[in-house]
Amino acid sequence: MSKFEVYLDEDGKYRFRLRARNGQIIAVSQGYKSEEGCIKGIQSVKENAPNARIVVLE
């Protein structure tokens, strides 16, 4: 099962990464000042991305 991981980066900011079922990191977030903000970012991705379009920029 894929999972979101919340962690502190080198600058002391909270980030999340999304890992695929095989353990590969497939997305990394921006830095957040608080853990709560980071978790809200995860919730936003989960709510807003299920039907997101794919746009190839050339």
- DSSP classification of residue 29: -
The one-digit pLDDT tens for each residue of the chain (58 residues) are 999 999 999 999 999 999 999 999 999 999 999 999 999 999 999 999 988 999 999 9
Domain boundary assignment for the chain = 3-48
The string over 28-52, giving b where at least 16 C-beta atoms fall within 10 Å of a residue's C-beta and e elsewhere, is ebeebeeeeebeebeeebeeeeeee
In CATH terms, the fold of domain 3-48 is Double Stranded RNA Binding Domain (3.30.160)
| pLDDT at residue 36, as a whole number | 98
- Amino acid 39: pLDDT: 98
- What pLDDT score was predicted for residue 50? 87
